[in-house]
Every structure is written in structure tokens, then in C-alpha cells.
Amino acid sequence: MGATPLVAALDMGYGHMRAALPLARALGTKIVEVDRAPLAGADEAKLWRRTRMFYELASRLSQVRGPLGGPLRSMLDTVTFIPHLHPYRDLSAPHAGTRYLDRMIDDGLGRGLVAELKRTGAPLVTTFYAPALIADRAGLDDVWCVVTDTDVNRIWAPHDGRRTRIRYLVPTQRTARRLAAYGVPEDRIRLTGFPLPDELVGGTSLAAVRRNVGARIVRLDPEGSFRRTFRDELAHFLGALPEDDASRPPLLTFAVGGAGAQAGLAALFLPRLRPLLEAGRLRVALVAGIRREVAESFSSSIAKAGLEAFVGKGLEIVLADDLNSYFDRFHALLAETDVLWTKPSELTFFAALGLPLVFSSPVGAHERYNRRWAIEAGAGLKAGDPRFAAEWLVEWLNDGTLAAAAWSGFMRLPKFGLYAILEALGAGAAR
């Protein structure tokens, strides 16, 4: 590899930053946010800020019950619309979003990014479509776009996909087929998987995954039925299981996205979890990310449920001051997590770590496809009524459903995305 790549992302929720961080760390560099100074001038930063605020507000309000939420959900579905893939056909015609982005690029969007790439001669590795399309329009050749969903809107491909210089690194076969339908040549698409954090994968030997999955399955299988049924398979792939972990209550982690959508669900499920917390049968972590207002919402829900006494004793709120600190804390938490309850964002790919996923409602069409992908692999489950979460969680624990979902994710979903991307970049594979 020549010059160190410029790893670029946008602060549009956590998803694109979450994919960029493992790559930046493996490459020994930092993430460059193209929507902020110094790359973005004042006018450009203002445009990105308005776009981000609109998306976050629409995401949050789309989860509101009643007459306001419905129209906003419909609007988000329209903006993120992805047509049916079947029957296979040419879907390369640009749509309104593509044309609008082209006009913004013509008006100077990304001018600072292009200037920096030309000055340094560095390859561009981006986890958001806009920087890749900007560099492509500028005639730059060494452009890599890491796709962060299982299926994508037409806006991820250039106006004329057949002439693109972008090399796409995609997480699933469906993503590859979709980009090909948008006109991107197949030799410009490489199936890699999603770049999961190295500390949770453990290199190409999967040391961390195997260790965490072994302990997790013990905690998720209190009756031992799953371990008895799959004794030989577990021993073959994981070795001896840490049976001492059977005495530790499973940890349920509830994580909301960067926009803070769905934080209000905690007020619905926390009251019914009290008996499980009191009996020491469950631990709960509420992840607010870097959003203090989300943490305050969680604190209010805890108080209303009368659970203040459990904070620090089986119940915690995870809040960080900045994204790097948040990702470090969250990754450490995921190593101990037994069930991850979240919307089907980029966290869907973390099911490959042997994390059973419980999905709240998707926000946008791409998240519906993410959810379907995980459920079809047996790694995800749709959340039931949050008011009765204690009941369905206990059922899934006792009958081995959650242990089976953990095992399916570990066995069926791709875990080598980070190392495959590094190899494609000519940077070699970690460990």
C-alpha cells in the first residue's frame, strides 16, 4: 500500500462512523468528517448540518404514535425507497435524489475533500456514498466505498454507474446484486462483509468471538437444553464452555441510534422487568451513546418505574462524552452482552459476533432489509410488545430461542469484513 488512505465518514447517526472506526484504527489514521471543518467550509458545513438535523428530527418523530408519526414514517420510506430487486432488471436510471446530489456537487459540495485528496494523493475510503460520488465526479481513481446496509437506495451509485471509478466493498451478496442493477460493473464490486471491530472479532483466528460466544451461550441457556442438543458442535467450534458463567444473569443491552429514535421504549419495558432485576435473573444496560438528552430520558423512565435502587446493581446507563469514548465503552459492553435490543441499523451486522438481536421497528426502507437479512439467517427476532418484554424474554431464554439465535449468527453470518477490506486496500489482514 502506498499513501495512507483518507478514511472519511459523515456524522449522520452512528452507522457510518461505526463502520469507519475499525478501518481507521487498523490503518493507523483518524476518521475525517467531510461535513465539518477543516474540509468543509462554513456554507458547506451549514448545508450538511441542516441535512443532519432534518434526518434526526424526522427519525425521532417518525416513532411517535398518532397522527404525526404516520406521515413522517411515510416520508422517510419515500426518501429511502428501494425498489423490489426481483425480477432482475435494469435499475440504473438516476432518480430525483441522484440528480439533486449532482447539482450540489456542481455547486461545490465536497470541494475541500477533493482539494485534500489531490494535495496528498491519498486513496479515499468512505463509509458514506456522498464522498465517493464527489471524488468520482472529480475524476479521482483511488476511491473505495464501504457500504453499510444489506440493500441500498439508488443514490449510492453515480448518475452513470457504468462509468464509475468507485470500488465498492459490500457486506452481502444482495448489496452486490443491487449495485449491479444500478449499473455498477461487477468488477467494481467486492463482497467483503461489514467491518466489525477487531477487539470483538479477535483477528482471523476469531479468538474474541469464540470466547464471548461460549460464555454467552452458557448464560442464554439456563436449562441447558441447547447445550445438550448441540454438545458436539459447540465443543468442535468453541472448545470447552465456561460453565461457571451459568450462574451469571444474562445482560440485555438496549441501544438507540444516533438520532435518539425509540428511546421512549424504555418507559414501556422497564416497569415489567422489575421482578427479573429483583430476583437477579437479568441485567440491563441502556445505551444513550453521546446524547445526554437520551440519558436523561432513560433516567426519567427508571425513576417512573421505581428502579433507582438498581442503578449500578444490575441496571446501568451508558453515556460518553465523545464518539471515540462511546465506541470503546460500547464494544466493551458488547463483549459481555447476551441480548442486543436495537433497531435494524448497521448494528444488524453485529449478529455475526454471536449476538442474538431483538429488533424494534425499522426506520427507513434499508433497515427493513437489514432486519429481514438477520431474521432469515436465524440471528434476529422481532420484538414483542415492549410492555410485556419480561414475559417474552423469559420464554425465549427458557426454550433456547436466544441461544439458538446467537449460534446461528456466529455460524452463518460473515465476520471477516474488516480483514477482507484491509486486504482489498493492500493493507494486509490484521493478526
Mean pLDDT by runs of 10 across the 431 residues of the chain is 87 87 97 88 77 56 53 57 93 91 88 94 96 96 97 96 97 98 98 98 97 97 93 95 89 84 90 95 96 95 97 97 95 98 96 98 92 98 97 95 98 98 84 47
Q: Indicate the Cα dihedral angle 382, 272, 401, 376, nearest 10°.
A: 10
N-term to C-term CA, the chain: 17
76: left (phi over 0), alpha (psi -120 to 50) or beta: alpha
| pLDDT at site 40 | 84
| pLDDT at site 21 | 97
Helix or strand (DSSP H, E) at 167: strand 167-170
- By DSSP bridging, strand 6-9 and strand 124-126 are parallel
The fold for domain 198-412 equals Rossmann fold (3.40.50)
| pLDDT at site 431 | 47
Q: What type of residue sits at position 335?
A: A
Average model confidence (pLDDT) across the chain: 91
Do 128 and 107 meet the contact criterion of CB atoms below 8 Å apart?
Answer: no
Q: HSE on the CB side for 68, CA within 13 Å?
A: 9
pTM metric for this prediction: 0.93
Q: Indicate the Cα dihedral angle 62, 65, 70, 75, nearest 10°.
A: 0
User: Do the domains 198-412 and 6-195+417-424 match in fold?
Assistant: yes
Do 201 and 414 meet the contact criterion of CB atoms below 8 Å apart?
Answer: no
pLDDT digits (tens, 9 = 90+) for 372-413: 999 999 999 999 999 999 999 999 999 999 999 999 999 999
> Which CATH architecture describes the domain 6-195+417-424?
3-Layer(aba) Sandwich (3.40)
Q: Spell out the domain ranges in the chain.
A: 6-195+417-424, 198-412
How far is Cα 392 from Cα 140, in angstroms, rounded to an integer?
52
